[in-house]
Amino acid sequence: MYFQHVYDKTLAQASYFIGCQATGEAIVIDPKRDVDTYLEIAQQNKMRITHIAETHIHADFLTGSRELAALTGAQLYLSDEGGPDWQYEFPHIGLKEGSTFMVGNLKFEVMHTPGHTPESISFLLTDTPASDKPVMIFTGDFVFVGDIGRPDLLEEAAGFVGTKEAGARQMYQSLKKFYALPDYVQVWPGHGAGSACGKALGAVPSSTVGYEKISNWAFRYKDEESFVKFLLEDQPEPPRYFAMMKKLNKVNRPLLTEVPKLKKLSAQEFKAALEKGIKVVDTRTKQEFAEGFIPGTLNIQNNNSFNTWMGWFMNYDEPFVLIAPESKHDDLVRKLMRIGLDNIYGYVPDVTVWTELGNKLEKVQTISAEELKKILQTNHTQIVDLRGAAEYKSGHIKGADHVFVGTLEKNLSKVKKDEPVVIHCQAGDRASIGYSILAKHGYRNVKNYMGGISEWISLGNEVVRN
The tens digit of pLDDT for each residue in 6-30 reads 999 999 999 999 999 999 999 999 9
How many alpha carbons fall within 13 Å on the CB side of residue 226?
Answer: 7
Question: What integer best gives the mean pLDDT of the chain?
Answer: 95
**Residue 159's pLDDT band (cuts 50, 70, 90):** low
Enter the DSSP assignment of 217. Answer: G
Conformational region of residue 22, where left means phi above 0, alpha means psi within -120 to 50, and beta covers everything else: alpha
Report the C-alpha gap between 407 and 390 in whole angstroms.
15
Report percent pLDDT > 70 for the chain: 98
Q: Which fold has domain 267-356?
A: Oxidized Rhodanese; domain 1 (3.40.250)
Q: What is the pLDDT of residue 157?
A: 64
First to last CA, the chain: 51
Report yes or no: 150 and 198 within 8 Å, Cβ to Cβ: yes
Cα 412 to Cα 427: distance, rounded to the nearest angstrom: 22
pLDDT value at 153 more than 80: no
Positions of CATH 3.40.250.10 in the chain: 267-356, 366-458
> Residue 130 above 90 pLDDT?
yes
CA–CA distance, 109 with 103 (Å, rounded to integer): 11
Q: What does the alpha-carbon distance between residue 384 and residue 201 come to, in Å, rounded to a whole number?
A: 28
Pair 190, 30: CB distance under 8 Å = yes
The pLDDT of 419-441, averaged and rounded, is 97
Q: Which CATH class is domain 366-458?
A: alpha beta
Mean pLDDT of 428-456: 97
In angstroms, the CA 165 to CA 168 distance is 5
User: What is the reported pLDDT for 160?
Assistant: 67
- Comparing 295 with 163, the larger pLDDT belongs to 295
Q: What is the pLDDT of residue 158?
A: 65
Alpha helix ranges (H) inside 90-241: 153-156, 164-179, 209-215, 224-232
Q: Do 125 and 134 contact (CB within 8 A), yes or no?
A: yes
pTM: 0.93
Segments of the chain assigned to CATH 3.60.15.10: 2-248
State the Cα–Cα distance between residues 95 and 144, nearest whole angstrom: 22
Question: 346: buried, middle or exposed (CB in 10 Å: 19+, 13-18, 0-12)?
Answer: middle
pLDDT band at 266 (very low <50, low <70, confident <90, very high): very high
Q: Going by CATH, does the domain composed of 2-248 fall within 3.60.15.10?
A: yes
Dump the DSSP string for 404-448: -GGGGGGGGGGS-SSS-EEEE-SSSHHHHHHHHHHHHTT--SEEE
Q: What is the tens place of the pLDDT at every residue in 75-102?
A: 999 999 999 989 999 999 999 999 999 9
Taking alpha carbons only, the member of 124, 76, 126, 136 closest to residue 99 is 124
Q: In 3-state terms, what secondary structure has residue 322?
A: strand
- To the nearest 10 degrees (0 to 180), the angle between helices 36-44 and 65-72 is 50
Mean pLDDT computed over 391-406: 96
Distance CA 401, CA 383 (A): 6
Report d(CA 403, CA 434) in Å as an integer.
Answer: 10
